[in-house]
């Protein structure tokens, strides 16, 4: 029996010729990731065992990004734990304010993940790196501690769902619309503990930033991971950002999938996920008249340079509605500087938007844009659960940067076409 991309990567890292769904394996790790919320818990467990060194100082990354720049005393203490541990252990990849970014945008940018890697991270959106043809998945802080100590982790080999993409997205349709369409189709548990494997000619029509967005939200369908076939665009990205050797894995012709879907990118419309689940997807022509109070453009889902450019294209020469707070957060220092140098900040600020230093901030209701009771936000983030960005009686609508920017201008949920 053939293997899928994910199964091949796991087999290689477990030192096995083959694996099959449901099999328990122990695999070697290429990267262990934590942030300012999850790392202190892992560090506590690590210290509790009495360990005095990590398995590899180059294969651990600790990125304070959720509550940084520190929003209060508690968050400052959390980061202090991360900082002191990283220094004590000699961890190379510790990135703080001034160097940091939102973790899942930062690691690919730094070249720390390449095709064929196995990556675990104490954050559910670690599945982002599947865009590079890596197996990456979120784990708990205890597993992070064990991974830092041993460089290994236990996995149950997942079944796979095949998504064959064809066609080309129309104007204003990007990775966010594609993944919201898919989650709306299969549901938030439609890929529960399964690998979402993306293939087909349509993948070539998606930029790397689109693919990062899609892989990032695989967890919102309940998936263990999302992964794209490595192609020319992947290889170009990797060569630009990393000097590491890598292995590109392709699924066997006779690989088994528990289900398969064919997605025609030509037919996907700009899409919005209504409260309070990412599966509540509606196309922009079916959203109705919904007034909003805040727009957030950023996060590990849509804070990359293409997202900034799209937002700027919509906002250029226009003004943010007087009733709307528009907050734009480039995901890393590099993206921040690039956006500034391209003149995007002039467009944002002239429109009446605010530009923030990199942070997860409002995505998880941390800081930099908390919602009050009764307020509605259009956000390019990945979750819209009850109270996700603030008050339990606030509402979050997930959308692309194009929709978010247009909504900021009109004061209601809208697509760019409505500005003409």
Q: How confident is the model at residue 75 (pLDDT cuts 50, 70, 90)?
A: very high
The strand pair at 118-121 and 31-35 is best described as: parallel
What does residue 195 show for φ and ψ, rounded to 5 degrees? Answer: -95, 125
Angle (CA) 194-196-199 rounded to 5° is 150
Q: What integer pLDDT is reported at residue 255 of this predicted model? A: 95
Q: Residue 188 corresponds to which tokens in the numbers above? A: 């938030």
Q: What integer pLDDT is reported at residue 100 of this predicted model? A: 85
Its pTM stands at: 0.95
pLDDT, average across residues 92-111: 95
CATH number for the domain running over 5-264:
3.30.499.10
Q: How confident is the model at residue 420 (pLDDT cuts 50, 70, 90)?
A: confident
Three-state secondary structure call for residue 18: coil
Q: Which fold has domain 272-419?
A: Aconitase; domain 3 (3.30.499)
pLDDT digits (tens, 9 = 90+) for 283-336: 999 999 999 999 999 999 999 999 999 999 999 999 999 999 999 999 999 999
pLDDT, average across residues 257-273: 97
Q: What integer pLDDT is reported at residue 418 of this predicted model? A: 87
Burial class (CB in 10 A: 0-12, 13-18, 19+), 53: exposed
Question: Domain spans of the chain?
Answer: 5-264, 272-419
Q: What integer pLDDT is reported at residue 348 of this predicted model? A: 98
Q: Please give the annotated binding residues, written as ranges.
A: 300, 360, 363
Give me the count of residues in the chain.
Answer: 420
Q: What integer pLDDT is reported at residue 274 of this predicted model? A: 97
Q: How confident is the model at residue 393 (pLDDT cuts 50, 70, 90)?
A: very high
Same fold, 5-264 and 272-419: yes
200 CB-side CA count, 13 A: 18
Q: Please give the annotated binding residues for [4Fe-4S] cluster, written as ranges.
A: 300, 360, 363
Beta bridge partners of 327: 296, 354
Q: Residue 93 corresponds to which tokens in the numbers above? A: 């990849």
Least confident of 223-232, 317-326, 360-369: 360-369
| Rounded CA separation 62/34 (Å) | 5
Q: How confident is the model at residue 1 (pLDDT cuts 50, 70, 90)?
A: confident
Q: What integer pLDDT is reported at residue 181 of this predicted model? A: 97
| Rounded CA separation 211/209 (Å) | 5
């Amino acid at each position: 029996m053939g293997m899928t991309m994910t199964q091949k990567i796991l087999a290689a890292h477990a030192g096995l010729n083959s694996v099959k769904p449901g099999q328990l394996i122990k695999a070697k790790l290429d990267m262990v990731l934590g942030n300012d919320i999850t790392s202190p818990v892992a560090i506590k467990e690590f210290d509790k065992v009495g360990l005095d060194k990590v398995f590899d100082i180059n294969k651990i990354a600790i990125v304070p990004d959720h509550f940084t720049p520190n929003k209060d005393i508690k968050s400052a203490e959390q980061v202090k734990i991360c900082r002191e541990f990283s220094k004590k252990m000699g961890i190379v990849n510790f990135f703080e304010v001034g160097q940091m970014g939102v973790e899942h945008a930062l690691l690919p940018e730094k070249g720390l993940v390449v095709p064929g890697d196995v990556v675990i991270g104490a954050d559910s959106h670690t599945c982002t790196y599947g865009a590079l043809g890596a197996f990456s998945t979120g784990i708990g802080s205890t597993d992070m501690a064990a991974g830092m100590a041993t460089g290994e982790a236990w996995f149950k080999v997942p079944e796979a769902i095949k998504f064959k993409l064809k066609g080309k997205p129309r104007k204003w349709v990007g990775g966010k619309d594609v993944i919201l369409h898919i989650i709306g189709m299969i549901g938030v548990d439609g890929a529960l503990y399964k690998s979402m494997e993306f293939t087909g000619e349509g993948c070539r029509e998606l930029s790397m930033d689109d693919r990062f967005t899609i892989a990032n939200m695989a967890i919102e369908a309940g998936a263990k991971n999302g992964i794209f076939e490595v192609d020319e665009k992947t290889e170009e990205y990797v060569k630009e950002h990393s000097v590491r050797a890598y292995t590109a894995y392709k699924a066997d012709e006779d690989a088994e999938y528990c289900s398969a879907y064919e997605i025609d990118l030509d037919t996907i419309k700009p899409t919005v996920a209504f409260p309070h689940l990412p599966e509540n997807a509606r196309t922009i022509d079916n959203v109705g008249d919904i007034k909003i109070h805040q727009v957030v453009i950023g996060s590990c889902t849509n804070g990359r340079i293409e997202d900034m450019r799209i937002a700027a294209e919509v906002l250029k020469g226009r003004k943010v509605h007087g009733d709307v707070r528009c907050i734009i957060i480039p995901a890393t220092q590099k993206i921040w500087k690039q956006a500034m140098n391209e003149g995007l900040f002039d467009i944002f600020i002239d429109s009446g938007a605010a530009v923030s230093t990199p942070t997860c901030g409002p995505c998880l209701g941390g800081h930099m844009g908390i919602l009050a009771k009764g307020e509605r936000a259009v956000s390019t983030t990945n979750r819209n659960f009850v109270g996700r960005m603030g008050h339990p009686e606030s509402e979050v609508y997930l959308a692309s940067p194009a929709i978010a920017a247009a909504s900021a201008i009109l004061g209601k949920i809208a697509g760019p076409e409505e500005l003409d």
